[in-house]
Each structure stands twice: as structure tokens, then as C-alpha cells.
């Protein structure tokens, strides 16, 4: 029986290089037998395919992003991917590009329109990507910089992926979830992250938020881990099969693509 937990094993794999330059004398470091049998997790990690950038992608330049410059001390190296929802009910009359532009300009104007302590200046969108109900992925903040938040958690190393909508009150669309899976698989592949690096806002900022809303958060349940399994299908080069299941008991029933504005 291994004395390492799964996460430890994967972290160990990723840290091989730094461990080999540890100050400990080399002869005290036990040698790994070359014929070592790989665990299913290690095998899956080694068999990953290179995931291409998702197709339904709109770059920041394409939608006309106008960020302010971000300070150099906000640069970071991505280590985890965090899923969010907007927390704002999406209705079919909304325009995704207008929604993003409004969020960006609001962030830049916060010190003028909010009272302390919530008047933090956001030079650009708080998220790195935003996904519309039809599955279109909009590029937000540059991946080179840490995100923004109104909650407390370690920002450096975090990539933020937001799905438009409020998943306490409506359900994400299949196209939206599929784009989220393809996007996260691309990020995980690009930065060589273990599947433990996929998380949600509520899991990290414990007790501070219900984000990304119960009808999306359900797919990050530790037992079933649906979202991680879908990402793994893409990482292993298998066909992506997503089943969103029945509505939760007492949960929202209406899809985001069906929610009309109340008159």
C-alpha cells in the first residue's frame, strides 16, 4: 500500500525535477526502480493527448476588449482552474458581448461608484474566460495575470472560467457545459495540471459563496466528479459524452436558453 494519497502521487510526479535538486545527499534518496508499476492515475496522466484550443472561441481583440494595463506584480503562473457562474439570471433577450463589456467597464469604474470596502479597481475583467449560453467562449483577462474577486482566496495561480447565468435559478445549457469541459481540458493540457487542479469558487472560498450555483456545482461533487470525468475523456482523446441528468430535487428546472425576461 502506498503511503501517498493520490494527490501526493500526482504532485510528486510534477515535482520530480525540483526534488532531484534537493540539498539532501543523493545517496540518502531512495532510488525508484525503473520497472515501477504505474497507478491508473499516473498512467492516465502519461497517456494524455495534446488538447487544441476550443473552436467556438472569440478572442479579446475580436469582441473589442478595452482593458487598462495591469501591474507587473499581478503576473502569475497558472496552477489551478476555478469555475464560476455570473450569479445574474440570464434571459434570452440579453447580448453576451454587451454583458461582458458592461462588466469590464464596471470593474474599471468601481472606485467611483462603490463605497469602501468594495471599491476595488479592476483594470480588466475578473475572469480569464466567459462562456455564453450558446457555448461561445469569450476571452477575458490575459492568462498572464491573476484574477479578481470579492471573496478571500489566493489569487496567484488561479485561472477563472465563468459561465453566464445564475445556476441557483436556472440550468446551464448542454452547449455551455460542453464548452466549459473543452476549455478546461485545453487549459489543463496546456499547463500540465493534474485533475485535482480543477475546482470551483465555493470549494476554495469556503463559506463565502455558493458560486457556481447548485445546478452547476453538482457536477463537481467529490463522489461522482462528473466534470472531471468529462475533462478526462477529452484529455484521453475519447469522444466527449455529457449527460447533465435530471433536475435536482427542489432545484431549478428551466434551461438558461429558455428563460424569458419577466414583463
Grid coordinates given for 220? 463537481
Q: Which is nearer to Zn ion, 185 or 202 (CB)?
A: 202
Q: Site residues for Zn ion, window 185-214 (CB under 5 A)?
A: 201, 211
Cβ of residue 38: shortest distance to Zn ion, in angstroms? Answer: 36
Q: Which is nearer to Zn ion, 9 or 205 (CB)?
A: 205
Beta-carbon contacts of 99 under 8 Å, excluding residues fewer than 6 positions away, are 86, 164
Q: Which is nearer to Zn ion, 137 or 211 (CB)?
A: 211
Question: In whole angstroms, what is the distance from residue 128 CA to residue 144 CA?
Answer: 10
Q: Which is nearer to Zn ion, 100 or 211 (CB)?
A: 211
Number of residues that bind Zn ion (CB under 5 A): 3
List the x/- string, 229-248, binding to Zn ion by CB under 5 A.
--------------------
Cβ of residue 216: shortest distance to Zn ion, in angstroms? Answer: 11
**Residue pair 212/88 in contact by the 8 Å Cβ criterion:** no
Cβ of residue 28: shortest distance to Zn ion, in angstroms? Answer: 45
Q: Which is nearer to Zn ion, 84 or 228 (CB)?
A: 84
Cβ of residue 209: shortest distance to Zn ion, in angstroms? Answer: 6
Please report which helix (H) or strand (E) contains residue 187, including its range.
helix 174-190
Cβ of residue 153: shortest distance to Zn ion, in angstroms? Answer: 10
Taking CB under 5 A as the binding criterion, the range among 61-69, 77-85, 118-126, 137-145 that sits at the site for Zn ion is 77-85
Grid coordinates given for 98? 454587451
Question: In whole angstroms, what is the distance from residue 38 CA to residue 185 CA?
Answer: 22
Strand 137-139, strand 129-131: pairing: antiparallel
Q: Site residues for Zn ion, window 78-137 (CB under 5 A)?
A: 84
Inter-CA distances, 255 with 1, 65, 258, Å: 46, 28, 5
Q: Which is nearer to Zn ion, 97 or 205 (CB)?
A: 205
Cβ of residue 152: shortest distance to Zn ion, in angstroms? Answer: 12
Question: In whole angstroms, what is the distance from residue 246 CA to residue 154 CA?
Answer: 35
**Residue of 165, 179, 162 lying closest to 81 (CA atoms):** 162
Q: Note the residues at the interface with Zn ion (CB under 5 A).
A: 84, 201, 211
Amino acid at each position: 500500500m502506498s503511503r501517498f494519497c493520490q494527490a501526493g502521487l500526482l504532485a510528486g510526479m510534477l515535482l520530480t525535477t525540483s526534488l532531484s535538486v534537493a540539498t539532501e545527499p543523493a545517496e540518502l534518496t531512495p532510488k525508484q526502480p525503473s520497472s515501477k508499476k504505474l497507478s491508473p492515475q499516473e498512467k492516465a496522466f502519461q497517456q494524455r493527448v495534446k488538447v487544441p484550443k476550443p473552436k467556438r472561441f472569440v478572442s479579446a481583440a475580436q469582441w473589442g476588449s478595452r482593458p487598462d494595463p495591469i501591474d507587473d506584480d499581478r503576473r502569475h503562473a497558472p496552477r489551478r482552474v476555478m469555475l464560476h457562474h455570473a450569479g445574474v439570471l440570464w434571459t434570452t433577450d440579453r447580448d453576451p458581448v454587451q454583458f461582458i463589456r458592461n462588466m469590464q467597464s464596471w470593474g474599471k469604474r468601481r472606485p467611483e461608484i462603490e463605497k469602501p470596502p468594495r471599491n476595488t479597481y479592476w483594470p480588466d475583467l475578473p475572469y480569464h474566460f466567459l462562456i455564453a449560453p450558446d457555448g461561445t467562449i469569450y476571452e477575458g483577462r490575459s492568462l498572464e495575470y491573476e484574477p479578481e474577486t470579492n471573496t478571500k482566496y489566493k489569487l496567484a495561480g488561479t485561472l477563472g472560467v465563468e459561465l453566464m447565468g445564475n445556476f441557483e435559478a436556472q440550468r446551464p445549457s448542454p452547449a455551455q457545459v460542453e464548452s466549459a469541459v473543452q476549455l478546461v481540458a485545453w487549459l489543463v493540457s496546456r499547463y500540465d495540471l493534474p485533475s485535482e487542479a480543477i475546482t470551483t469558487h465555493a470549494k476554495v472560498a469556503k463559506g463565502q459563496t455558493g458560486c457556481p450555483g447548485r445546478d452547476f456545482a453538482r457536477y463537481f461533487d467529490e463522489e461522482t466528479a462528473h466534470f472531471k470525468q468529462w475533462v478526462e475523456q477529452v484529455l484521453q482523446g475519447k469522444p466527449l459524452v455529457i449527460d447533465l441528468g435530471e433536475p435536482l430535487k427542489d432545484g431549478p428546472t428551466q434551461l438558461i436558453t429558455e428563460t424569458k425576461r419577466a414583463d
